[in-house]
Amino acid sequence: MTTGSAGALSVTLCRDPRQFAALEEPWNRLVRGCPTATPFQSHAWLHSWWLSYGRDGRLRILLVRRGEELVGAAALMLVHRPLPRLVPIGGPITDYFDVLVAAGHADQVVPALVCGLHRAARSALVDLREVRPGAAAEALFEAWPGVRTKLADSTCMELPTLPFDELVKRMPGSGAQRVRAKLRKNDAAGIEEREATEQEVPRAVRTLLRLHEQQWRGRGVTPEHLRPRFAEHLTRATRRMVRAGEARLTEFLLDGKVVAANVTLLSAALSGGYLYGAHPDLRNRKVDVATLLLRHEAGKALAEHRPVVSFLRGDEPYKNHWRPETVVNQRFLLATSALAPLLRLHESQVTGRERAVDALRETLPAARDWRVRLNELRVR
């Protein structure tokens, strides 16, 4: 359905999942031509998520074309609770949202996206979560003609891509000494590394999720990671992304058995460790899994010329040992002028929940499942 036009560009709203599925090739060309895109904007990730989590009649994808060429896109869907909203496809299991804007065409594509989104938002708020600083969506926010609000969202941790020895040198002297000792123990254990092929991904994901459950058993595993729909999505998305060079699944073997596995999602801008699992027995063998994974990922990112190694969302203490840069995602609330009261109501609800989360963090600092509780509160 055509929703409007901007100059020589056409703006359409896709509501048909079959049409979304057919967009894979032009969508991926656009992703490759969008310097701010993260792995979570890939067609493989978004379409797979929709197959596992989407609901009939909710798809709302804005498409901007110049002739037949796709030059802009925003992957959204409609939700009705607690208020009617247009929200990013990907849900709580997706770490970054952004709109796609072809390089060199922002001055035309951004106004076209704003025009199309403004028309689509006549009866719903726009709630864009997990916008990474520097994202193309920032230009959309600044150009929005109605009412708008910017809030802080999840905290992410990032390291510059450096030789691993340089990352160790960034640490305090005592911390660096401990890491070097851990590296010697890891090397002495004789762990081998291998990357799963596209055909091996289904088996490797099953192994990873089994190890992940064992690793977190009794310590508050994220419930969604144990559900069949998540396994289906992660398997399908990872397989397609491995094929396209947008992901890798690394297995770590000890005495011929897989004892750890890690899914890393890739884009030109970053290398992000998405999910890993490790056998609890590695602790008894004095193998430090975090150091094992980071050395591997830092080496890969350096070889592939990716500028950032991202821990993605979360500020867990083990990440802070490496002195990463703290990057806070943004949440953009947008509405037409007619819906300004609805936006203010939603903003008050959001900030009220955030205060409840902060209070829970203070009152349950030692509870083993507090992060799970926080995650459940943050899922709107």
What is the per-residue pLDDT across 21-35, written as a single tens digit (0 to 9) for each?
A: 999 999 999 999 999
pLDDT band at 298, cuts 50/70/90?
very high
Confidence check: pLDDT of 192 > 60:
yes
pLDDT band at 65, cuts 50/70/90?
very high
Identify the pLDDT of residue 373.
46
Identify the pLDDT of residue 265.
98
Give the C-alpha separation, 75 to 62, whole Å: 7
pLDDT band at 361, cuts 50/70/90?
low
- Span 82-91, mean pLDDT? 96
pLDDT band at 284, cuts 50/70/90?
confident
Percent of the chain at pLDDT > 70 equals: 92
Q: Give the rounded distance of the alpha carbon of 304 from its chain centre.
A: 20
Confidence check: pLDDT of 303 > 60:
yes
Identify the pLDDT of residue 14.
97
pLDDT band at 360, cuts 50/70/90?
low
Q: What is the pLDDT of residues 137-167, one digit of tens each?
A: 999 999 999 999 999 999 999 999 999 999 9
- Span 307-322, mean pLDDT? 91
- Span 37-52, mean pLDDT? 98
Q: pTM to 2 decimals?
A: 0.90
- Span 106-127, mean pLDDT? 97
Identify the pLDDT of residue 218.
84
Task: Give me the chain's average pLDDT, please.
Answer: 92
Identify the pLDDT of residue 315.
87
Lowest mean pLDDT among 33-42, 264-273, 358-367: 358-367
Q: Which two tokens stand for residue 94?
A: 């997706």
Percent of the chain at pLDDT > 90 equals: 82
- Span 91-103, mean pLDDT? 97
Confidence check: pLDDT of 174 > 90:
no
Confidence check: pLDDT of 318 > 90:
no
Confidence check: pLDDT of 57 > 90:
yes
Identify the pLDDT of residue 370.
46
Identify the pLDDT of residue 219.
83
Give the C-alpha separation, 57 to 218, whole Å: 39
Give the C-alpha separation, 241 to 193, whole Å: 20
pLDDT band at 362, cuts 50/70/90?
low
Identify the pLDDT of residue 364.
53
- Span 299-303, mean pLDDT? 97
pLDDT band at 374, cuts 50/70/90?
very low
| Structural Rg of the chain based on CA atoms | 21
β-pairing, 85-88 with 125-131? parallel
